[in-house]
Amino acid sequence: MQALLEHLSTPPEYARPMASSETATARGYSPTKDQLQNRLRRIEGQVRGLQKMVEEDRWCPDILQQIAAVGAALDKVALGLAEGHVQHCMSAGTDDPQRRDEMTRELMQALGRLVR
């Protein structure tokens, strides 16, 4: 369960609230945002189901199977976000090679945290 919670936690460098004067920027996931939110709601329901399974003292292998399912669902969301980031943000993001290198490092760090 701890691994699942670590998987969900936002790194501190990305956990800044948007200032009220900032406007929403189009992201790689913007065109499919509704679909993404629906997936995340389903995952949230799965996690609530896990809590209930523990509360009901269900058999450990059943709980572990559901934890694996939640992890796989989160991985699928993460890969979709990464793909959108590469296609939208990185390919059209900048012509500056130094900025592109910085963006590549940021993406690789995020992917590194994902596969821990």
DSSP states along 81-102: HHHHIIIIIIHHH-S-HHHHHH
Joined together, the tokens standing for residue 3 give 């691994």
pLDDT at 85: 81
**Chain segment 48-64, per-residue pLDDT in tens:** 999 999 999 999 999 99
Contact, 56 vs 113, CB < 8 A?
no
pLDDT at 20: 43
| Residue of 89, 71, 82 whose CA lies nearest to 109 | 82
pLDDT at 6: 54
Q: Where are the domains of the chain?
A: 33-114
**Chain segment 27-47, per-residue pLDDT in tens:** 777 777 889 999 999 999 999
| Global pTM value | 0.67
Tokens 């691994």 belong to residue:
3
pLDDT at 65: 97
* CATH class given for the domain over 33-114: mainly alpha
